[in-house]
């Protein structure tokens, strides 16, 4: 059985800052999404149901394979010694300056790849997909998956690629989030603002105003999760019978401990991985899913690259320990017991 997969690629990053350079840094939106889900996984039985494809070229380092294997997911390696691993170059400067380019050929993941590597039975039963792609590819994937669907309820969380999040592409994005399938649209706040041609929000109140613009933009049965960086996450639920949508704000895990944030790269993808598994395990509870997302994102931004795992600890803390700290620090009106029960985790 597979609970969750992604069409995001695995990338080896070359990172340059004003002071240092780093090689073979594990990256890619798909990798970070699976990492987030793995951080939330309560045990190996669940983590093995996180199935994803990692393309290994002739230059793939052994230590990277060892690190991925330590997560105990259902990873499927696709080896091709005739090509290089997908690699990218990143330059970071002051004031959030960034340049990015691919250094080798991309190898995308599509429905036919899942069918070949997972098999028909497993593909048909997957309840949750993470998509990071254009509207054209999102539509294509959803169309193809109609032929492979026996899941009781199938959900797609979709990150439109950043360069398409603007007013010129708004109608194409609208069409995806008004399909019959359950689609959770998830831009970050800057992308969401560009989609409506407004300024990027700088306060929680402005983020909420931006979120409300999605009320009539998405179908009544679909949802939106706005990732607001240090301001946390905002979720817009499906429209209830009374015509209202639930709005949920959860603070960022490190909003009161910003010194622990070393590299925010991949934080949004990791959030969505944790959110997705939390959504699946809690059977669609937005609060539980958002809490899981914020905890997962915190782990991924505490260092360059990926967090270190030892047993059930990530960067020295278990999911349960982080959950307890998160609820206490922000005085949230939930208990560790109720969240773990919602995730069907033994307490």
The predicted-structure confidence for 259-301, as pLDDT tens digits, reads as follows: 999 988 899 999 999 999 999 999 999 999 999 999 999 999 9
Three-class secondary structure of residue 138 per DSSP = helix
How far apart CA 137 and CA 262 sit, in angstroms, is: 33
CB 2 within 8 A of CB 122: yes
Encode pLDDT of 293-336 as tens digits. 999 999 999 998 899 999 999 999 999 999 999 999 999 999 99
Q: What percent of the chain has pLDDT over 90?
A: 89
Range with the lowest mean pLDDT among 122-126, 234-238, 242-246? Answer: 242-246
User: Could you give the count of Cα atoms lying within 13 Å of 1 in the half-sphere of its Cβ?
Assistant: 8
For strands 317-318 and 233-239, give the pairing.
Answer: unpaired
Q: What's the confidence (pLDDT) of residue 50?
A: 98
Give me the residues paired with residue 99 across strands: 91
Strands (E), the chain: 4-6, 11-16, 21-27, 53-56, 76-79, 87-92, 98-102, 128-133, 155-160, 182-185, 223-227, 233-239, 245-250, 309-310, 313-314, 317-318
- pLDDT reading at 347 higher than 70: no
User: Domains of the chain by range and CATH?
Assistant: 4-342 (3.40.1190.20)
Query: Taking residues 186-196, what's their average pLDDT?
Result: 97
Q: How confident is the model at residue 19 (pLDDT cuts 50, 70, 90)?
A: confident
Whole-angstrom distance, CA of residue 245 vs CA of residue 236: 6
Count of CB atoms situated within 10 Å of the CB of 26 = 19
Average pLDDT over residues 158-170: 96
The tens digit of pLDDT for each residue in 80-117 reads 999 999 999 988 877 667 788 999 999 999 999 999 99
């Amino acid at each position: 059985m597979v609970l969750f997969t992604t069409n995001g690629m695995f990338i080896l990053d070359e990172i340059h800052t004003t002071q240092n350079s780093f090689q073979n840094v594990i990256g890619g939106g798909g990798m970070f999404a699976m990492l987030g889900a793995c951080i939330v996984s309560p045990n190996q039985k669940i983590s093995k149901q996180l199935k994803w494809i990692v393309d290994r070229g002739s230059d793939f380092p052994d230590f990277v394979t060892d690190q991925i294997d330590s997560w105990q997911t259902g990873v499927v390696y696709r080896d091709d010694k005739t090509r290089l691993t997908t690699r990218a170059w990143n330059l970071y400067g002051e004031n959030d300056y960034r340049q990015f380019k691919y250094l080798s050929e991309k190898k995308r993941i599509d429905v036919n790849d899942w069918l070949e590597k997972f098999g028909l039975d497993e593909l048909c039963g997957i309840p949750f997909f993470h998509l990071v792609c254009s509207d054209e590819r999102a539509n294509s994937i959803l169309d193809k998956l109609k032929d492979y669907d026996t899941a009781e309820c199938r959900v797609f969380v979709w990150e439109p690629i950043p360069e398409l999040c603007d007013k010129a592409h708004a109608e194409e994005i609208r069409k995806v989030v008004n399909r019959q399938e359950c689609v959770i649209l998830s831009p970050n706040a800057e992308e969401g603002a560009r989609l409506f041609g407004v300024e990027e929000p700088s306060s929680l109140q402005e983020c909420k105003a931006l979120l409300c613009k999605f009320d009539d933009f998405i179908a009544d049965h679909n949802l939106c999760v706005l990732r607001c960086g240090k301001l946390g996450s905002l979720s817009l639920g499906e429209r209830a019978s009374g015509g209202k949508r639930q709005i949920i704000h959860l603070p960022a895990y490190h909003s009161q401990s910003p010194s622990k944030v070393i590299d925010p790269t991949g934080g949004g993808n990791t959030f969505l991985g944790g959110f997705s598994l939390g959504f699946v395990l809690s059977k669609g509870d937005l609060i539980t899913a958002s809490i899981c997302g914020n905890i997962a994102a915190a782990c991924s931004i505490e260092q360059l690259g990926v967090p270190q795992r030892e047993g059930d600890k990530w960067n020295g803390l278990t999911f349960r320990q982080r959950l307890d700290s998160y609820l206490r620090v922000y005085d949230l009106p939930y208990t560790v017991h109720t969240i773990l029960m919602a995730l069907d985790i033994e307490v």
